[in-house]
């Protein structure tokens, strides 16, 4: 049985009884009991959470001791006969039809007169057991399932259907995830780090909060073509032409965002003037500019400022005219 279904069985039973049992005696199924040894009992975290919400105590039956729950097993067989077997020939076309038919059979069982004593099961419960039940809370318990995951490099966790973001500084850490029908909560070392509204349908894109992203990722998320074009226009015509190429060379403008971001970073590092000169030189020998080539031009400083170097004698002939006079270093006739 799935964890959520197991918990909802308790919620529905308490609502039907109109009260909460003081003690629960479950079997040792893994959805309820993690370990049950002679020394200690470890309950599933979600099951323990349910017990604390309703104020009841969970005392699992001893392992391999069926007499601890003999009457319950007998009631299971009785219900199987009068509900499941009675409806086996019926055809249903929706879950609501099944639930309605089961509810009718349940009422039939509980109002069916006893064979050996007066009354029925409902009357016996109201007269003998109802007064010992604890009151129901104002709101029914919302089942939650706990699981552990290690946060990957994409700072995402999964609920089994969709992906949700966590703060990026938790990358590589093991976090606890609390799943309810509507909420996904992430805990780290007992502290609640964030939460998301849980989606009921599969989504292609992960659910990411901007504050969970590193600064560079957040900058990339806010990119758009109009801002890149406006920035390039303020730098120079060559940069504007390069940005236009990046945004139109792929099947979608988004494919050029990464190159545009890299180009803007080069502008911050080397200055707008040198970037414009490098793009102009790039376009002079290629109609397909690339970030790698532009970066190389800037690093090597290949005349990117388009200025003419002045001639100097630093690396010219240093011996002078006197050296070549007659009788100098050369052979005299």
Task: Give the chain's radius of gyration (CA, Å).
Answer: 38
Is residue 193 a contact partner of residue 170, using CB atoms and an 8 Å limit?
yes
Shared domain for 103 and 200, answered yes or no, is no
Which of 177, 212, 247 delimits the end of a domain?
212
Task: Give the residues of the chain that fall short of pLDDT 50.
Answer: 302-311, 332-333
Q: What is the pLDDT of residues 185-201, one digit of tens each?
A: 999 998 999 999 999 88
Q: What is the pLDDT of residue 74?
A: 76
Q: What is the pLDDT of residue 44?
A: 87
Shared domain for 167 and 119, answered yes or no, is no
Which of 185, 212, 239 delimits the end of a domain?
212
Residue for token digits 């909802």?
8
Shared domain for 245 and 124, answered yes or no, is no
Q: What is the pLDDT of residue 34?
A: 86
Side-chain half-sphere exposure of 102, counting CA atoms within 13 A: 10
How many residues are given for the chain?
A: 333
Instruction: Domain of residue 194: give its range.
Output: 145-212
Judge whether 25 lies within some domain.
yes
Q: Which residues pair with 134 in a beta bridge?
A: 20
Is residue 56 a contact partner of residue 7, using CB atoms and an 8 Å limit?
no
Cβ count near 122 (within 10 Å): 13
Shared domain for 38 and 110, answered yes or no, is yes
Q: What is the pLDDT of residue 332?
A: 46
Q: What is the pLDDT of residue 115?
A: 87
Q: What is the pLDDT of residues 191-236, one digit of tens each?
A: 999 999 999 888 888 999 988 988 777 766 667 888 889 999 999 9
Shared domain for 75 and 20, answered yes or no, is yes
Q: What is the pLDDT of residue 326?
A: 61
């Amino acid at each position: 049985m799935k964890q959520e279904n197991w918990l909802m069985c308790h919620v529905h039973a308490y609502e039907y009884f109109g009260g909460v049992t003081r003690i629960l005696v479950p079997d040792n199924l893994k959805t309820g009991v993690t370990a049950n040894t002679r020394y200690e009992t470890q309950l599933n975290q979600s099951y323990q959470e349910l017990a604390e919400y309703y104020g009841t105590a969970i005392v699992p039956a001893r392992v391999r001791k069926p007499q601890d729950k003999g009457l319950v097993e007998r009631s299971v067989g009785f219900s199987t006969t009068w509900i499941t077997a009675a409806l086996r020939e019926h055809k249903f076309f929706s879950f609501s039809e099944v639930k309605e038919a089961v509810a009718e059979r349940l009422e039939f069982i509980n109002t069916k007169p006893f064979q050996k004593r007066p009354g029925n099961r409902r009357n016996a419960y109201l007269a003998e057991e109802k007064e010992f039940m604890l009151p129901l809370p104002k709101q029914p318990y919302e089942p939650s399932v706990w699981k552990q995951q290690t946060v990957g490099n994409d700072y995402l966790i999964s609920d089994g259907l969709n992906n949700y973001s966590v703060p990026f500084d938790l990358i590589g850490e093991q976090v606890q995830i609390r799943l309810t029908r509507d909420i996904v909560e992430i805990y780290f070392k007992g502290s609640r780090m964030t939460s998301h509204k849980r989606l009921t349908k599969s989504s292609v894109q992960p659910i990411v909060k901007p504050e969970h992203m590193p600064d560079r990722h957040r900058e990339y998320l806010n990119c758009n073509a109009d801002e890149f074009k406006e920035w390039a226009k303020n730098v120079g015509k060559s940069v504007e032409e390069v940005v236009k190429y990046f945004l139109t060379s792929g099947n979608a403008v988004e494919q050029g965002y990464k190159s545009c971001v890299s180009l803007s970073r080069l502008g911050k590092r080397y200055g707008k003037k040198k970037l414009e000169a490098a793009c102009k030189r790039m376009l002079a020998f290629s109609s397909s500019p690339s970030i790698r080539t532009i970066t190389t031009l800037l690093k090597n400083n290949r005349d990117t400022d388009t200025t003419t170097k002045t001639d100097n004698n630093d690396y010219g002939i240093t011996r002078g005219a006197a050296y070549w006079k007659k009788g100098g270093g050369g052979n005299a006739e």
